Amino acid sequence: MSAGIDVAVRGTARAAGPGRLRVLRTGARSATVWVVAAVALLLVTIVGFLLSAGSADSRPLHWDSSAPDGGRAIVEVLRDHGVEVTTTESLTEAQTLAAEPGTTVLIHDPSGNLEPSTQSEFAQAAADGENSLVLVSPGLYVDGYTDGITTATQVTDAQNSAEPMPPDCEWEPARRAGAVSGTANRYASTGLSEGRVTICYHHPWDQAGYGAVAREQLPGHDITVLADPHWLSNAGLDEQGNAALALGALGGHERVVYYYPQASDQPWAQQDGRPANPLALVPTWFGVAFLWLIPLLAALMLWRGRRLGPLAVERLPVIVPPVETVIGRAGILQRSGAREQALHSLRTAALLRLARRLGLPPSARAADICDAVAAHTGHDRAQVHRAFIEAVPTSDRQLVDIATEISNIESEVSHP
């Protein structure tokens, strides 16, 4: 083994140590980024799975939702009381079941997915089967089910509206339930019904004829409007007489059909019994805009993919002058802030030259070379060891100072 190889591989152990450590730190940082990203992705996947598994549906008053505003509790309570509950999001199935005798149809349509014609069909199906139709917070859509009940608006104080409301009517299920939690929603009779509309649950300061529950008794069937979905929700079912009111409104028949409308199941979303063509929903101007995007995309590709002239052809192998290699490597080290690696290269080259000049054996180590240099030049041994082995630069200024000191000491060692 030559002195040069020995010095390059293990002679500057002190200087090479920090360099290896820096490489390890850099590699660890790079690996940490990927590890953290993988762990974060795994956690997101697990949380998403748990959330999807914990609650099959999060829509308000949906029978599969166990959230505070979900409707799982009312379904279980009805079943515990011997009522057969059928849940569906299919319009066809709901309309078929609504016409079967001995059925109460519960509809909660918070998004207003049902058209007026579909609403009237449900009312007619309930009439044909002599059944009950219960609407939960239909709002302005109540007019589609009946012309005897309408939405009533009034200015109310939110704090006062939360106070419990007594039934104050002759409808027996309301009288048995007693007071329920307060709400600001009100309904009233239009006066056009051939039957009798009963208005229940209101505050003393409400306008006459306004109430939170409206019940229309028609020949052979009835329609009940419950103003507040909170009465039937998981969180509100055990407040005041909410549960008793819900059971009284829904428990009049042996079977309850709970229909939760969805947009994709409505008549306007289908054609001849088949799902509508999604392209039919695209506006007519989209085709013209898309055609205009084609030349713009081609121009963008030409702009980003252009070349400044033909490809250069060069004979191989390429001969690079050593000075260019040195300058290029120095630039890379400077941009990356690799001071220790740069100093290690300077020390290794200087020690190789000094070993040759002093005629040291191949087994000479960096410390041996430094001792020989100190004896040859008369410099303090600690100063030479610091310059060639121990000093670690923390700034560019210190790197320059150490390199200058190495150059000065090397210049004092003459050729043998």
Q: Write a three-state SS string for the chain.
A: CCHHHHHHHHHCHHHHHHHHHHHHHHHHHHHHHHHHHHHHHHHHHHHHHHHHHHCCCCCCCCCCCCCCCCCHHHHHHHHHCCCEEEEECCHHHHHHHHCCCCEEEEECCCCCCCCHHHHHHHHHHHHHCCCEEEEECCHHHHHHCCCCEEEECCCCCHHHHCCCECCCCCCHHHHHHCCECCCCCEEEECCCCCCEEEEECCCCCCCCCCECEEEEEECCEEEEEECCHHHHCCCCCCCCCHHHHHHHHHCCCCEEEEECCCHHHCHHHEECCEECCHHHHCCCHHHHHHHHHHHHHHHHHHHHCCCCCCCCCCCCCCCCCHHHHHHHHHHHHHHHCCHHHHHHHHHHHHHHHHHHHHCCCCCCCHHHHHHHHHHHHCCCHHHHHHHHHHCCCCCHHHHHHHHHHHHHHHHCCCCC
Q: Does one domain contain both 229 and 360?
A: no
The number of domains in the chain is 2
- Check if the beta carbon of residue 274 is closer than 8 Å to that of residue 267: no
pLDDT given at position 318: 72
Q: Does one domain contain both 264 and 135?
A: yes
Q: Does one domain contain both 231 and 139?
A: yes
Q: Which residues sit opposite 16 in a β-bridge? A: none
Give a yes or no: residue 193 inside a domain. Answer: yes
pLDDT given at position 289: 75
Here the tokens at position 256 are 């309850």
Residues 338, 399: Cα–Cα separation, whole Å: 10
Give a yes or no: residue 389 inside a domain. Answer: yes
Q: Does one domain contain both 255 and 173?
A: yes
pLDDT given at position 18: 46
Find the angle CA(233)-CA(235)-CA(236) to the nearest 5 degrees: 65
Q: Does one domain contain both 329 and 400?
A: yes
Here the tokens at position 375 are 């004896």
For residue 13, what are the domain limits? 3-33+316-411
Q: Does one domain contain both 260 and 166?
A: yes
Give a yes or no: residue 27 inside a domain. Answer: yes
- Check if the beta carbon of residue 261 is closer than 8 Å to that of residue 113: yes
Residues 60, 346: Cα–Cα separation, whole Å: 73
pLDDT given at position 10: 38
Residues 340, 348: Cα–Cα separation, whole Å: 12
Q: Does one domain contain both 77 and 202?
A: yes
Half-sphere exposure of 368 (CA within 13 A, CB side): 15
Q: Does one domain contain both 26 and 78?
A: no
Domain boundary at 221, 251, 275, which? 275
Q: Does one domain contain both 242 and 379?
A: no
For residue 382, what are the contacts with CB-CB under 8 A and spacing of at least 6?
A: none
CA nearest neighbour of 250 among 123, 107, 129: 107
CA nearest neighbour of 70 among 79, 80, 58: 58
Within 10 angstroms of residue 251's Cβ, the number of other Cβ atoms is 18
Give a yes or no: residue 290 inside a domain. Answer: no
Give a yes or no: residue 102 inside a domain. Answer: yes
Give a yes or no: residue 246 inside a domain. Answer: yes
Domain boundary at 275, 303, 325, which? 275
CA nearest neighbour of 226 among 158, 174, 166: 174
Q: Does one domain contain both 139 and 230?
A: yes
- Check if the beta carbon of residue 123 is closer than 8 Å to that of residue 148: no
Domain boundary at 275, 299, 334, which? 275
Helices 339-358 and 322-336: angle between axes, nearest 10 degrees: 140
Give a yes or no: residue 152 inside a domain. Answer: yes
Here the tokens at position 331 are 């630039």
The pTM of this model reads 0.55
Q: Does one domain contain both 192 and 265?
A: yes
Give a yes or no: residue 199 inside a domain. Answer: yes
- Check if the beta carbon of residue 136 is closer than 8 Å to that of residue 256: no
Q: Does one domain contain both 137 and 10?
A: no
Here the tokens at position 406 are 């190495």
pLDDT tens-place values along the chain, 416 residues long = 334 333 333 333 333 444 556 555 555 555 565 666 666 776 766 666 555 544 456 788 999 888 999 999 999 999 998 999 999 988 889 989 988 999 999 999 888 888 888 899 999 998 998 999 999 999 889 999 999 999 988 777 666 677 899 999 989 999 999 999 988 899 999 888 766 899 999 988 888 889 999 999 988 889 999 999 999 999 999 898 999 999 999 988 999 999 998 876 655 555 454 555 565 556 666 777 777 788 888 887 777 666 666 666 777 777 778 777 778 877 887 788 888 888 888 898 899 888 888 888 877 898 999 999 999 888 899 999 999 989 888 888 898 899 999 999 988 887 55
Residues 337, 23: Cα–Cα separation, whole Å: 13
